[in-house]
Amino acid sequence: MVSQELNLDGLIGPTHFFGGLAYGNQASMAHQNQVSHPKSAAIQGLQKMKVLMDLGIPQGVLPPHERPYQPYLSDPEKRHHAFSASSMWAANAATISPSSDTPDSKVHITPANLQTCIHRRIEAPFTTDLLRTLFDDRDRFQVHESLPATLPDEGAANHTRLCKQYGDRGIHLFVYGTSQSTSEHPSYPARQSLESSQAIAKQHGLSNEGVYMQQESLKAIDSGGFHNDVVGVGNQTVYIYHEMAYTHPLTSFHSQAETILDAPLHFLMIPSETLPLDIAIRSYFFNSQIVTLSSGKMVFIVPSDCLDYPEALNAIAYTLSEIPIIQEVVYVDVRQSMQNGGGPACLRLRVVLTPSEQAAMHQGVLLTNSKVDTLIQWVETHYRETLSIKDLEDPHLIEETHRALDSLSAILGLGSIYPFQKSDS
Widest distance between CA atoms in the chain: 60
131: how many CB neighbours lie within 10 A of its CB? 24
203 CB contacts (<8 Å, ≥6 apart)? Answer: 108, 110, 144
Catalytic: which of 66, 346, 357, 382? 346
Q: Are 72 and 78 in contact (CB under 8 A)?
A: yes
Q: How far is the CB of 311 from ligand SUG (least distance, A)?
A: 20
Please say if 227 is a catalytic residue. yes
Q: Which residues bind ligand SUG (CB under 6 A)?
A: 18-22, 25, 28, 84, 86, 89, 91-92, 117, 120, 157, 226-227, 229-230, 340-342, 346
Nearer to ligand SUG, 390 or 422 (CB): 390
Cβ–Cβ < 8 Å for 362, 17 = no
CB of 341 to ligand SUG, least distance (A): 4
Smallest distance from ligand SUG to CB 21, Å: 4
Q: Closer to ligand SUG at the Cβ: 60 or 155?
A: 155
d(CA 60, CA 78): 31
Active-site position among 172, 227, 242, 382: 227
Strands across the sheet containing 298-303: 289-292, 298-303, 326-332
Name which of 91 and 220 has its Cβ closer to ligand SUG.
Answer: 91
The DSSP-derived string for 116-143 is: SSTTTTTSHHHHHHHHHHHT--TTTEEE
Instruction: Return the number of the residue (108 or 120) whose C-beta is nearest ligand SUG.
Output: 120
Q: Which member of 66, 154, 195, 216 is catalytic? A: 154
Residue 195 annotated to the active site: no
Of 106 and 227, the one with the shorter C-beta distance to ligand SUG is 227
CA atoms within 13 A on the CB side of 289: 30
Phi, psi of 148 (to 5 degrees): -65, 155
> Minimum CB separation from ligand SUG for residue 258, in Å?
27
Write down the least CB distance from residue 349 to ligand SUG, Å.
10
Concerning whether 154 is annotated as a catalytic residue, the answer is yes
Taking a C-beta distance cutoff of 8 angstroms, is the pair 416, 402 a contact? no
Q: Catalytic residue positions?
A: 154, 227, 346
